[in-house]
Amino acid sequence: MPETPLLGRRSILRGAAVATTGLVIGLYVPERGRAAGRSEPLAPNAFLRISPENEVTVVAKHVEWGQGIHTTLAMMIAEELDADWGQVRVVPAPADPDLYANLIFEAQVTAGSNSVRNSWEQYRRAGATGRAMLVAAAAQRWNVPAAEITVDQGVVRHSRTGRKATFGELAGAAATQPVPTDVPLKDIGRFRLIGTQGVHRLDTPSKLDGSARFAIDVTQPGMLTALVARSPRFGGRVASVDRAAALRVPGVRHVVQIPTGIAVVADTFWAAKKGRDALDVRWDDTGAETRSTTDLVTEYRALLDRRGDIARKDGDAERALAGAAHTITADFEYPYLAHAPLEPVAVAVRRTRDGVEVWTGEGSVQGAQEGAAELLGLTREQVTVHSVYAGGSFGRKDGTTLEAVEILRAIGGSAPVKLVWTREDDLRHSFYRPMYVHRMTVGLDRRGDITAWHHRIVGQSIFPWEPVNGVDWVSVDGAGNIPYDIPNILVDLHTTQTGVPINTLRGTAGAHTVYSVETMLDDVAARTGRDPLALRRQLMSRDPNTKQIEILSIAEADRPTVFAEFPRQRRTLELAARRAGWGSRLGRGRGRGLAVHYGFLTSVAMVAEVTAHRETFRVDRVVCAVDCGIAVNPDIVRSQIEGSVAWGLSIMLDGAITLDRGVVQQSGFHDYRVLRMDQMPKVEVHIMPSSAPPKGVGQVAVATVAPAVANALFAATGRRVRRLPFSAG
């Protein structure tokens, strides 16, 4: 799939072209830090510094929110540099889109599971360039041919003369070498770090002793804490406010109005909270969203009977359905979801002598910088953005920086201020994964083969700016690109409008589309007496890339990657099935289910095993196979998939944000329940060997969890759930 662009759709192809032609070198600033002298660090480009103290510093252009990107970027440089992993450290990049843009989005943004992919060529080349300069310096110093010099684990050697030197010893001399523009990259067979086991994450140690600093931990002398009272209904405005009671709370310094509500700014969090509790605000709901979830469901369901915008059409599904021997039809409901990262949104900001300084975990470093500059009438350069660790984001921290800047402005920049959201704020005033309803109708012929497949989706569009045939592909991803060889396919979409703000959320589209697709397929298997694995294998025996598709409403640039390379997706399914022991007997009350998905250019297949009790069930084990290209750090890939399993289970079991006359009903982890330790199954992750460039792994596996588990539960009990979450009954 498709990108989930934050700044409008960008061409994957264009990004890839930039990354592979070596033009990226043009982005480097070879001049920087290249002043001559032995004690100078070597800084051949914007991504790498080698100090005389023998420290290799990698500048990470992507935000670290748990996905391991700092470590992964550092590995790509260390690999080509032949550094010793122990000498490598990472610092976050400053805001500077000319140097640190995501090459696919062409903006300094971390999103869309493409961080490794867009950096793959660029970071390795940065390391290789550094290596070449170290080698050139050694050749010059030892007066030997560069070709005879080897580099291994941070040591540069000339074996014939027995000479050797550390990177640090050569850094100063290397800094005076010309920066080569066309260094070769290693053959993947020569990787020593990439793809190997046991390369530990660089961020783990500080996360175990409390020293890792998140945005919420930022402290500055005289810093105040701000909480904001926001409209209970989306789109509501402040009608009037009585500040007196809040201002009487000891420690409260300011009560100020900002576009999102009333900010209470105090010496401490607790004073700000008490101040906000004391605040008396009247809200004007003119123009606010006042519908309840039940109203929306009714409106959405009414649309299920009408044809929407066509996302995909091959053959004539409507006619084939009319002539089918049997049809199966089912409706599905998926609620709004909140991200609820464990660290709620927090942003710190302060005025400096000639600008402002911001500490944020948001993924769009560029957006934070440009937004703050525009708001305060500063130049971009006057805004310093510190991209600190985010305590999870999953999409939640996008665009959250400016509210803090608004508060700073409202208090005249008089003190550093830290905006903190409480958990209740986070759940009630967020943007959400949209709510959807689906209808699926499948036609079978007399032998039980599928002749027609019709999937209709109703919901809001997250990226409405450049629809194709009226379709935002992100609304249908996972449904519009099913890999199955079915003669007549129709996928259509009704894009709705509501006042509820929405955004991507880990696993965005697949978390609803794939549930409908994969559970429906199991219903077909059950109805026709086929094995779910055999049915899928049969439907995956032809390359979907070669199928004549009349309409596919996806941007031209994304078209070449809409399906996986054949037959790798089927192989992924076969691997998962084999490792899970598909077909072997399970005890009473137990069941096994599977699901497949292709997204973010990665294929996943998952087999879940459950044990059903009278009223409840337990997920015992989940086996996942993933084809994600080269796994730069296989353990980080595994960790991301394990986390995706928990994430998918949270969505399936309990995840729901509901509205009562426009007001979000959930306010904490007691009523927006997320997965806990005692619900966590054993997870096995099998990575398919690959020599293809790395793809996305942060969210793709979310999609398969719920359908695999639902299919396992169906196998165990015959019970089919089509309204998520399961706790909704």
Whether 576 contacts 625, CB under 8 Å: yes
Least distance (Å) between residue 66 CB and ligand FES: 5
# of chain residues touching other proteins (CB under 8 A) = 62
The secondary structure of 448-509, three-state, reads CCEEEEEEEEEEECCCCCCCECCECHHHHCCCCCCCCCCCEEEEEEEEECCCCCECCCCCCC
Touching other proteins, residues 408-447 (CB under 8 A): 420, 422-423
Q: Which of 9, 49, 201, 409 binds other proteins (CB under 8 A)?
A: 201
CA distance 207 to 204: 5
If one asks whether residue 534 binds ligand FES (CB under 6 A), the answer comes out as no
If one asks whether residue 204 binds other proteins (CB under 8 A), the answer comes out as yes
Touching other proteins, residues 594-613 (CB under 8 A): none
Q: Which of 29, 164, 245, 269 binds other proteins (CB under 8 A)?
A: 269
Map residues 282-321 to x or -, x wherever contact with other proteins holds by CB under 8 A: ----------------------------------------
Least distance (Å) between residue 394 CB and ligand FES: 10
Q: Are strands 56-60 and 88-92 parallel, antiparallel or unpaired?
A: parallel
Q: Which does 644 bind (CB under 5 to 8 A by kind): ligand FES, other proteins, none?
A: other proteins
Least distance (Å) between residue 68 CB and other proteins: 7
CA distance 431 to 434: 9
If one asks whether residue 66 binds ligand FES (CB under 6 A), the answer comes out as yes
If one asks whether residue 200 binds other proteins (CB under 8 A), the answer comes out as yes
Residue of this chain nearest to ligand FES (CB atom): 342
Nearer to other proteins, 41 or 392 (CB): 392
Name the phi and psi angles at 543, rounded to 5. -75, 115
Least distance (Å) between residue 99 CB and other proteins: 26
The secondary structure of 249-287, three-state, reads CCCEEEEEEECCEEEEEECCHHHHHHHHHHCEEEEECCC
Name the phi and psi angles at 652, rounded to 5. -70, -40
Widest distance between CA atoms in the chain: 83
Q: Which does 420 bind (CB under 5 to 8 A by kind): ligand FES, other proteins, none?
A: other proteins
Whether 527 contacts 326, CB under 8 Å: yes
Q: Rounding to the nearest 10 degrees, give the CA dihedral for residues 381, 384, 390, 396.
A: -50
DSSP per residue over 11-36, as a string?
A: -HHHHHHHHHTTGGGGG--TTTT---
Whole-angstrom Cα Rg for the chain: 27
# of chain residues touching ligand FES (CB under 6 A) = 3
Least distance (Å) between residue 53 CB and ligand FES: 32
- The tokens 């697949």 sit on which residue? 510
Query: At 583, which amino acid appears?
Result: G
Q: Rounding to the nearest 10 degrees, give the CA dihedral for residues 371, 377, 381, 383.
A: -60
Touching ligand FES, residues 373-392 (CB under 6 A): 392
If one asks whether residue 68 binds other proteins (CB under 8 A), the answer comes out as yes
- The tokens 């289910």 sit on which residue? 593
Nearer to other proteins, 52 or 391 (CB): 391
Nearer to ligand FES, 66 or 725 (CB): 66
Nearer to other proteins, 297 or 651 (CB): 651
CA distance 536 to 534: 5
If one asks whether residue 635 binds other proteins (CB under 8 A), the answer comes out as yes
Least distance (Å) between residue 655 CB and other proteins: 12
- 655: tokens are 């995840």
Least distance (Å) between residue 699 CB and other proteins: 12
Least distance (Å) between residue 82 CB and other proteins: 23
Q: Which of 342, 414, 560, 661 binds ligand FES (CB under 6 A)?
A: 342
Question: Of the listed pieces 113-121, 252-260, 388-396, 485-493, which binds other proteins according to CB under 8 A?
Answer: 388-396
Q: Which does 677 bind (CB under 5 to 8 A by kind): ligand FES, other proteins, none?
A: other proteins
Touching other proteins, residues 643-662 (CB under 8 A): 643-647, 650
Whether 78 contacts 193, CB under 8 Å: yes
Q: Which does 230 bind (CB under 5 to 8 A by kind): other proteins, ligand FES, none?
A: none
Q: Which of 8, 250, 323, 589 binds other proteins (CB under 8 A)?
A: 250
CA distance 272 to 599: 43
CA distance 545 to 559: 10
If one asks whether residue 66 binds other proteins (CB under 8 A), the answer comes out as yes
Touching ligand FES, residues 391-420 (CB under 6 A): 392
Least distance (Å) between residue 75 CB and ligand FES: 20
CA distance 445 to 447: 5
CA distance 612 to 508: 28
Whether 56 contacts 155, CB under 8 Å: no
Whether 505 contacts 433, CB under 8 Å: yes
Question: Of the listed pieces 141-149, 268-276, 279-287, 315-323, which binds other proteins according to CB under 8 A?
Answer: 268-276
Q: Which of 256, 310, 340, 410 binds other proteins (CB under 8 A)?
A: 340
Question: Of the listed pieces 278-286, 376-384, 471-479, 642-650, which binds other proteins according to CB under 8 A?
Answer: 642-650
Beta strands in 497-601 (DSSP E): 551-552, 590-599
Q: Which does 697 bind (CB under 5 to 8 A by kind): other proteins, ligand FES, none?
A: none
Q: Which of 317, 675, 688, 715 binds other proteins (CB under 8 A)?
A: 675
- 344: tokens are 């709620």
DSSP per residue over 293-343, as a string?
A: HHHHHHHHHHHTTS--EEEEEES-HHHHHHT-SEEEEEEEEE-BB----SS
Least distance (Å) between residue 402 CB and other proteins: 22
Q: Which of 342, 352, 589, 718 binds other proteins (CB under 8 A)?
A: 342
Binding-site ranges for other proteins (CB under 8 A): 65-68, 200-201, 203-214, 216-217, 219, 225, 250, 268-270, 340-344, 389-392, 394, 420, 422-423, 635-636, 639-640, 642-647, 650, 668-670, 674-678, 680-683
Binding-site ranges for ligand FES (CB under 6 A): 66, 342, 392
